[in-house]
Chains A and B, each alone.
Chain A
């Protein structure tokens, strides 16, 4: 088990290195004049030269890449380009925390509701209920997050006036007020993910409902709810856990349009602002945060699956 984790982390390091290389090429190698881009089209030639000099953009590319790797290893990304004097990590931290709040609330909504929907669909397979859940899920999951965001903002935030249409809670807001302010984007995320998670759960649950151990449990007179709790869920939820793990990167760094709609300062919005500024140190640090979150959550998902399923644990040992 420990060997498996060590191997996974080692492979993750390779992936992280490759991501670093991709980010580096997109920000430093391909742009012909990064300093000009940074200073803006109306900046003087001297200012551009000064920037190039200050930021070391004239150094050979390997030197620059080495510097980036050093920044990553020491977890010190220096100062932001767009907000001079502000340390990159001081910009990342609040954005990461905001994203975490939104992700946690979303998962608290998405997982129970989607799992319930998926199990119900599997139990009533091929009935109207099943078909409705699957079709609604297919439709909701295919709509871009910013579109469902705009639609929900209009319906719930403005037409019905139930929730704040913009997600910046006042600084002194308590937990409940804080939740109220991010409930609308969380509902949009529920809208996006319900179909996906419910379908995955449904597929897993159909397999579990049809398995011999479930039939045996029923035949020995176990109650339906107990069969679901003890036998079906444990097996049906493994794909759900795996998929949730792979979606964490997207939840933290991919909901850029949604964060813009609700004017929410999460990691996605930060990446967007860093990319358009452009603010390379901030961008690199933020993208790496997303990658690290993705890696840790997929690893966590695999470990949870191993805990749920002894057979998977055996596979891990062999690995």
Chain B
């Protein structure tokens, strides 16, 4: 049960204590909810794993927004040494921290410039999935009946196949553009969110406040949006952060498999790994390993955030 559930006896006790102490300030549920939200946020910002995750993520966001401040080389520039000669296949050194790739581009610059692809696609896809999943879950959990039954079957069909597999089929069919990637991932993530929201709505719908709203004769839309929705919004926050992590996972995998956005010379972690991982066996590990570490650091950071959000908001 969520903290801000209005009929939670614990909250009522706190309310009464507050009223007793400050009788001139009426305890309005809405301000309570706001103060609880503020309290949760404060707790979140004090969680160490959240701070670590947020710092790393913000670094990558900064790279995506303004890569130029981190490196003097562009993503397609060739590194030149003091003689002005190009230095392809150079291992990590002072003037190219992460070394250079087979054609002499700076791997460090490629890593910095490669951040934008996953960071644009993933949050948008996750947001659409959470919104669509919330609508579906609310409708399914509130109305039940045959619509719920049919939708549950469809969701189960989608969920029984690996996301990557369906995503590949979709991008092969519709082409790998940013829009297709976003919509594909959003569509594939919607069932999980819908199922989570549905079971939360099922639990909420049995509580007294929903029954009394029904008895008051409120329309279904009002009950779903104004009564139930505020009580499941924490779940959606958790779902969103978790989904962003999985979306990055999926986008990176797709671009590793050759379905990436933009021209072939643009820096992109997955694509750069795909172009260079076969060189690892020949000893040239740096062009593949550094983007791999970049992906690892970003997904770990997002998951640290998701885990802290889950702990704070679900407790």
The answer to whether B280 touches A158, judged by C-beta atoms less than 8 angstroms apart, is yes
A213 contacts the other chain (Cβ, under 8 Å)?
no
Q: Does B174 count as interface, using CB distance less than 8 angstroms?
A: yes
**With A19-B157, A256-B257, A290-B161: A154-B169 Cβ-Cβ less than 8 Å:** no
Pick out which of these stretches binds chain A: B12-20, B79-87, B287-295: B287-295
Closest CB in chain B relative to A243 CB, distance in Å: 14
How far does the Cβ of A41 sit from chain B's closest Cβ, in whole Å? Answer: 13
Contact partner, B168, options A148, A150, A157, A256, Cβ 8 Å: A256
Are A15 and B160 in touch, CB under 8 angstroms? yes
Docked-complex contact A257 and B256, CB < 8 angstroms? yes
A147 touches B252 (CB 8 A): yes
B141 at the interface (CB under 8 A from A): no
- A19: chain B residues at CB < 8 Å are 157, 160-161
Interface stretch, picked from A25-33, A114-122, A306-314, is A25-33
The answer, among B273, B285, B300, B304, for a CB contact under 8 Å with A158, is B285
Known A-B contacts A19-B160, A151-B289, A261-B277; the reply to A144 vs B166 at CB < 8 A is no
Nearest-CB residue, chain A, relative to B259: A276
Q: Which B residues touch A150, using CB under 8 A?
A: 273, 277, 280, 288-289, 292
CB distance from A81 to the nearest CB of B (A): 14
C-beta contact mask, B250-293 vs A, less than 8 Å → 1, else 0? 00110011100000000000000100010011010100110011
Residue contact B154 to A18, C-beta cutoff 8 Å = yes
The answer to whether A256 and B285 have CB atoms under 8 Å apart is no
Interface size of A by CB at 8 A reads: 51
Q: Give chain A nearest CB distance to B276 CB in angstroms.
A: 10
Which secondary structure characterizes the binding site on chain B?
helix
Chain B residue nearest to A21 (CB atoms) is: B157
Contact yes or no, B161 A27, CB < 8 A = no
- Chain B residue with the shortest CB-CB distance to A294: B160
Q: Which of A11, A27, A144, A253 has the most CB of B within 10 A?
A: A144
CB <8 Å contact, A271 and B168: yes
Q: Which among B160, B280, B292 has the greatest number of chain A C-beta atoms within 10 A?
A: B160
Q: Which residues of B contact A (CB under 8 A)?
A: 49, 153-154, 156-158, 160-166, 168-170, 172-174, 245, 249, 252-253, 256-258, 273, 277, 280-281, 283, 285, 288-289, 292-293, 295-296, 299-300, 302-304, 307
24 interchain pairs, CB-CB under 8 A: A15-B153, A15-B157, A22-B157, A139-B300, A139-B303, A144-B295, A144-B299, A146-B256, A147-B295, A150-B288, A153-B280, A154-B280, A157-B280, A158-B281, A165-B281, A249-B162, A254-B163, A254-B165, A256-B257, A260-B257, A271-B165, A278-B172, A291-B160, A294-B161
> Which 4 pairs from chain A and chain B are nearest by CB?
A254-B162, A18-B157, A142-B303, A142-B299
